[in-house]
Amino acid sequence: MAPISRRQFLQGSSASMALALFGLAGRVDAATGKRYPSVKIGNIRELKVGEPVPFTYPDSSSPCTLVMLDQTAIGGVGNLKNVVAFSSLCPHMGCPVSYSKGRFVCGCHYSMFDPSKNGQTYQGLASQWLAQLILRHDSASGNIYAEGIEGLVYGRISNLKVS
């Protein structure tokens, strides 16, 4: 491997810093090739176990929920890996799901999803799992950022709108 020059190193560092500063650090959506926005959705110091926080991502028409669980979760962030976020739209027919007692529940046909296991459906009519957000935790500030989505948000052919 060829050694990297000081100039190349600085150019790479500048590009990374620009991506972070301008909110461009999100994952690339495989369907569109577009980059997900990196959006601050909360601060871990303000979260309480079992108390959900609503937000929207990647745009204002996509409701989501951030929650700190009482257990480690797949895809969880924070020191205990227990902070997760999911789309709030049920993958069955798009009804809102709500967090209660360690699970997400759909009020239309009572599908239930396990937030500690990637949003796995364990009861009801939904045949797909709840779409899980990819999070990043900045341990210095406590900020939590959404930077992508695993799975498709209900009703979309792509999570990122094609302009």
Residue 161 interacting with ligand FES (CB under 6 A):
no
Among 126, 130, 133, 153, the residue binding ligand FES under the rule CB under 6 A is 126
Catalytic residue among 92, 97, 104, 118: 92
CB 77 within 8 A of CB 136: yes
Question: Using CA atoms, how far apart are residues 109 and 113, in angstroms rounded to an integer?
Answer: 12
Residues 65-94 that bind ligand FES (CB under 6 A): 90, 92-93
Q: Is 92 a known active-site residue?
A: yes
- Which tokens in the block code for residue 158? 């792509």
Residue 125 interacting with ligand FES (CB under 6 A):
yes
Catalytic residue among 12, 13, 109, 158: 109
Instruction: Kindly give, in sequence order, each residue whose CB lies less than 8 Å from that of residue 146, ignoring residues fewer than 6 positions away.
Output: 26, 36, 37, 38, 39, 41, 55, 57, 58, 64, 85, 133, 134, 135
Q: Which residue has the tokens 């209900």?
A: 154
The count of residues interacting with ligand FES (CB under 6 A) is 11
Least separation, in Å, of the C-beta of 125 and ligand FES? 5
Which residues make up the interface to ligand FES (CB under 6 A)? 90, 92-93, 95, 106, 108-109, 111, 124-126
- Catalytic residue numbers read 92, 109
